[in-house]
Amino acid sequence: MRLSNVPSWQYLLRDVLELYYMGSAGGSAKIRTHMAEVRRALGKVFEDDPEIDYGPAKMLPVCEHLDRAISSSTGLRTAKVARSLESVRGLLNWKYGYEKVPRGLTRKYGYTEILGPNGPVVSDRIIVGCVLFAPKTTYPAHSHKGITESYVCIAGNTSENDAGVYAPGSLIFNPPGQMHRITTADREPCLLVYAWTGNPEDLRNQKMSFSKK
Ligand SMILES: [Fe+2]
């Protein structure tokens, strides 16, 4: 099945694209370049009209927090993407992405890919997905080799490297190799959209792994 035949996935990708059109780069040249790269890659994906390959849907314990995250975005400019995600939620494959899930994270974290070499929308131009964190979660320090990463906060509040607090609509930028550790608020879940840009080889071979201190 092609993307052009599945409106719900088109809407979801268009809403992600809109985040990268409407959001500000805050005056940062590096972030502006990354946002333009995300827009360019997503634009190409629409031109390519790639296959959608769902595979089996899978839930994780953290999905218990998805309703709350989606409803907490009501009235915010991130609500649209949250609602588009909701409309495909029955098809999503939530993963930990680690051979050994760090203790304490099994009920508190999961991610689901939307677009990338592994699908569901199959493309090697860019990886886009969502991460969901339960309240009071610490996601251990990690980095991504050869990958430039941005997170856009969709619901809840989060902090990275104790450097600030990001609310819905905020963009967090991690250049390749930069270590980052994420924490979430005490009582509310946090939903983030992420985009990874890099060369196709790096995107294909990316492994989730935590740094050992
Ligand atoms: Fe990351």
Query: Where are the chain's structural domains?
Result: 3-205
Number of CB atoms found within 10 A of residue 35's CB: 23
- Out of 2-11, 98-107, 113-122, 134-143, least confident range: 98-107
pLDDT for res 99: 74
Residue, of 70 and 144, whose pLDDT is higher:
70
Question: How many angstroms is it from 156 CA to the middle of ligand 1?
Answer: 17
pLDDT(208) > 70? no
pLDDT for res 135: 98
Overall average pLDDT of the 197-207 stretch: 88
Q: Distance (Å, rounded) from C-alpha 60 to C-alpha 62?
A: 5
Question: How many angstroms is it from 130 CA to the middle of ligand 1?
Answer: 11
Structure token digits, residue 175: 């250049």
Overall average pLDDT of the 144-151 stretch: 94
Overall average pLDDT of the 164-192 stretch: 97
Q: Distance (Å, rounded) from C-alpha 134 to C-alpha 174?
A: 22
Q: Distance (Å, rounded) from C-alpha 96 to C-alpha 199?
A: 24
Note the pLDDT tens digit of each residue in 61-96: 999 999 999 999 999 999 999 999 999 999 999 999
pLDDT(168) > 60? yes
Question: How many angstroms is it from 67 CA to the middle of ligand 1?
Answer: 23
Question: How many angstroms is it from 8 CA to the middle of ligand 1?
Answer: 26
pLDDT for res 58: 97
State the CATH architecture for 3-205.
Answer: Sandwich (2.60)
Question: How many angstroms is it from 152 CA to the middle of ligand 1?
Answer: 12
**Alpha carbon distances (Å) from 136 to 107, 193, 212:** 11, 19, 22
88 phi/psi in degrees, rounded to 5: -115, 10
Question: How many angstroms is it from 144 CA to the middle of ligand 1?
Answer: 7
Asked if residue 177 lies in contact with residue 129, where contact means CB atoms within 8 angstroms, the answer is no
pLDDT for res 213: 38
pLDDT(183) > 60? yes
Q: Distance (Å, rounded) from C-alpha 193 to C-alpha 53?
A: 20
pLDDT for res 120: 96
Structure token digits, residue 212: 């050992």
Q: Distance (Å, rounded) from C-alpha 3 to C-alpha 189?
A: 30
Overall average pLDDT of the 167-180 stretch: 96
